[in-house]
Amino acid sequence: MTTTTRRQHTLRGHLPGRHTARAASSVEHQAMLASRLTTRDKWLLALLHEHRVLTTSQIQDAAFPSGRSARQRLRDLYLWRAVSRFQPFQQLGSAPMHYVLGPAGAAVLAAEHGLEVKELGYRHDRAMGIAHNQRLAHTVGVNDFFTSLIARTRHTPAARAEAVVAWWSESRCARHFGDLVIPDGYGRWRTRVGTAAREVEWFLEFDTGTESLTKVGRKLAGYARLAESTGIATPVLVWLPTTRREAGARTALARVHADLDDPRAVPVATAAADLLDPTAPHPSPAEAVWLPLTSARVDRAGPRYSLADLADAWPGLAPPAGLATEDGDGEVGEVGDVAAASPYRLPPPSSVPPPATPNRVARGEH
């Protein structure tokens, strides 16, 4: 009928059938996946398990050379139930596809570590529940922060000497530091100049503009207790949506920061998303957008630092120590070991994607 105009994409052929949840856990299906999943696929599954949800563009930024190659591979992983997906409602336009770990992907991860799926704490309904979680936008925003850093190192020639060497999720931070403070993420950035390398680590506080600025400032007290407990001064980076919001946040942060017993134990810097050039090929928080918080400079005046040079803003800051590690027995390294890890928690996935491998499976063969 003329009142129901059909769009071109509806005329395409039907997608191949998708395996049921029970079939995805079968021996036959797992045997099929053994011949088809690449190292990069398995890395992506571990990344989804760690960070809960990633959009198509974030997955492309993290591991694929183009949007087309990312969509094609994600389509295969979706049909094999290695990943699941949903598209949130958006009043204007359409939201990007969001991906979570699927039943077959969870079975692969568990088998690789000699575990049962239930020992991972994985449930498909719980994984898909992020689609209705009120913190979905916040979680996606935090993941966008880190995947944009990875994209910079992969696609910007001048940034090839830079790398994200650590990316911990909020849940992993909660297991380590949750009795004192729960950061939105933990990261570490390495820059090489010749044969020398320097690193900066940070806790991320990602602000979407919905939280009161007073509450944002109060979080510094928790970071002060963490610094006192560990003896490590770790910078706290506060990422805000606009410079106007940043100005208000700096006032709230400065008020609390000045009252800390040892303000130098909690280095703080702020930045705003609208400082990035949206027309740049790969804008990221690695650019010179960070403004340290000092008693002498609360407003937006003064030089801003790049992520690589941020440590220069705090001359007395000690270089980062070795990374904490976790294995399948729940043992945690010495650095930042405030709370014991879950018994069967997987180690954090590498923040550097493995190289792509040729896909030997002909398209259309599912």
**Tokens of residue 33, six digits:** 């996946």
Task: Write down the pLDDT at residue 334.
Answer: 35
Higher pLDDT, 352 or 222: 222
* CA trace torsion 297, 299, 302, 306 (10° rounding): 100
In angstroms, the CA 43 to CA 61 distance is: 14
pLDDT in the model for residue 22: 64
Q: Which residue has the higher pLDDT, 169 or 22?
A: 169
- pLDDT score recorded for residue 332: 37
**The pLDDT of residue 322:** 74
Q: What is the pTM of this model?
A: 0.86
Instruction: Give the total residue count for the chain.
Output: 366
Q: Where in the chain is the domain with CATH 1.10.10.10?
A: 22-133
Higher pLDDT, residue 321 or 7: 321
Does the pLDDT at position 342 exceed 50?
A: no
Query: Is the model more confident about 274 or about 23?
Result: 274
Average pLDDT over residues 4-14: 48
Architecture field, domain 22-133? Orthogonal Bundle (1.10)
CB count within 10 Å of CB 306 equals 17
Q: Which of 54-63, 88-97, 119-128, 249-258 is least confident?
A: 88-97
Query: How far apart (Å, rounded) are the C-alpha atoms in residues 257 and 251?
Result: 10
pLDDT of residue 19: 65
329 pLDDT exceeds 60? no
| Mean predicted confidence (pLDDT) in 19-48 | 88
* C-beta of residue 96 within 8 angstroms of C-beta of residue 74: no
Nearest Cα to 206, choosing from 163, 241, 165? 241
For the ranges 155-159, 312-316, 337-341, the lowest mean pLDDT is seen at: 337-341
Instruction: Give the tens place of pLDDT for each residue, 114-142.
Output: 999 999 999 999 999 999 999 999 999 99
